[in-house]
Structure 1
Amino acid sequence: MSYTLDYFKALAAENLTEERFQHTIGVEAWAGKLALKFGLNKQAAALAALTHDLAKQFSLADQLAKAKEYNLIYYPEDLDHPQVLHGRIAAYVLENEYQISDRDILNAVANHTLGRPEMSPLEMLIYSADLTEPGRNFPGVDKLRQKLYHDLSRGTLACLEHTMQYLKDNKKVIHPLTLLTYKDLKHKLSI
């Protein structure tokens, strides 16, 4: 069966809270603008945006159980912070239940929370659009949007820096994958 963007939008509406659905629609809209700006596939961006939080509605216990069942635990920190697993679970579901085979879309969904070294432009776009979509309202978000719209890589680096500072300020653990992502992107941009 071939699934349409409308199908995935309806799936999101059915499975997410109204607030989470509005966030998802915001990510889709912002990702679409960014995709056009940077010459990326708008359909791929829309699909990744509509499905990035597909597993977010699962309880943390269910997310952890599914991640274990699907062999998606890659770091010890994943066990302590199962909320970071919903992207990997969503990508697994897309691939195995909906036969989505585009690796770039699956990676964008899987890595939208923590990032990863060697992120593709689509991965950077979804990672950053998730943080900066129009419904987000926090100090500095407008500046992040401007940086992102000007330069996808540097904007993504700014989003990573913002996220790490937020976690540090709130005495939360910075996942090692986010640190690796930051170091990788910073190194690439300094060359």
Structure 2
Amino acid sequence: MKLNRNPNSISLAWTGASGAPYGIKLLECLLAADYQVFLMISSAARVVLATEHGLQLSANPQKAQQQLLEELYQDGKLASGELVVLSKDEWFSPPASGSGAPKKMVICPCSTGTLAAVATGMSNSLLERAADVVLKERGQLILVPRETPFNAIHLEHMLTLSRLGVTIMPASPGFYHNPQSVQDLVNFMVARILDHLQIAHTLTQRWGYDVIAEKDTD
């Protein structure tokens, strides 16, 4: 597979934590923003996708890529971005090396096992190596853990990574925007991720702006 380097590229990883709808929505938004997305999916993430999203994703990267594009197309959301699904041992892909890796990566949802692997520098899979590359290249890494409660080990790993500049963004949607559906809660969390990536969106109303608008009409 020959790829052209896109300045708007990002690595995205889905792992075995609950929260598949977050990952699906984030992928949709990244493609809509015309990003080249290198997607890594753990075997546990495929189980979660089947359970929470009803999507039986193939272990074959090319088939999985087609499935995801069809899934987004069915919803009328397919955009001009480029999706590249990678296997766990695709060591010659761009995310595996600092000379070719995107400078941004999001792991969403992030299991506590993946959190531990990233915090301790393990690189037993492409997903873990990709995170390590972003760290060593001083790029932007965002982790979206979904676990409760956190034990001391989880918190120690988060603190270690936070001190390295990693953004730890637990999947904790707010309720002050009066969500009317589960999708509203998903959109809230994905909107916060996009904010940190500096990607424009209209997923949620921004805090305070509706109040100012009401005052202006008084």
**Greater Cα radius of gyration, structure 1 or 2:** 2
TM norm structure 2: 0.26
